[in-house]
Amino acid sequence: MTAVVASPLVGIIMGSQSDWATMQHAADALTALGVPFEAEVVSAHRTPDKLFAYAEAARGRGIQVIIAGAGGAAHLPGMCAAKTSLPVLGVPVQSQALNGLDSLLSIVQMPAGVPVATLAIGKAGATNAGLLAAQILAAQYPQYLQAIENYRQQQTDKVLANPIPGVQ
């Protein structure tokens, strides 16, 4: 039986409005797969109380996966994971100063005990976070499994239908 979904299953949070240019790609992936989500600016440094409240309430509101994107000293995914047992997918936003290497290392090096599933820096990571969230949900919602398989097939067809320009 297909589960009926009325409210967001994925919460996308980001440290700043400036992160949206990256994090919208997670939103785009979820939209393409039909997964309901919400998106909000929640900063570990500028709105720490809001972060704690968000993470503590998320499961009770029906959120099942959190995607957290941040740049620089990117504490948001780790602190969010510290306050919820929901799976947290971390997206390192590409910073201007260090091209996102700072963001990546801030997110990926969690000490044992509180995991954050860390994606690639920037757009690819945000897109894959959306896809991975859907794959996590697919264990429970068959419609998302089908959507993922369709997405991958379209991707394969597109590659096969477009030979390298100028090469026989």
Candidates 4-12, 15-23, 118-126, 138-146: pick the segment binding ligand RP5 (CB under 6 A): 15-23
Contact status: 100 vs ligand RP5 (CB under 6 A): no
CA torsion angle 146 152 154 157 (round to 10) = -130
CA distance 50 to 58: 12
What's the closest the beta carbon of residue 4 comes to ligand RP5, in angstroms? 35
Please check if 59 is assigned to a binding site: no
CA distance 97 to 62: 37
Contact status: 43 vs ligand RP5 (CB under 6 A): yes
Q: What is the identity of the amino acid at 166?
A: G
Contact status: 72 vs ligand RP5 (CB under 6 A): yes
Which residue among 9, 10, 16, 147 contacts ligand RP5 (CB under 6 A)?
A: 16
Contact status: 130 vs ligand RP5 (CB under 6 A): no
CB nearer to ligand RP5: pick between 16 and 24:
16
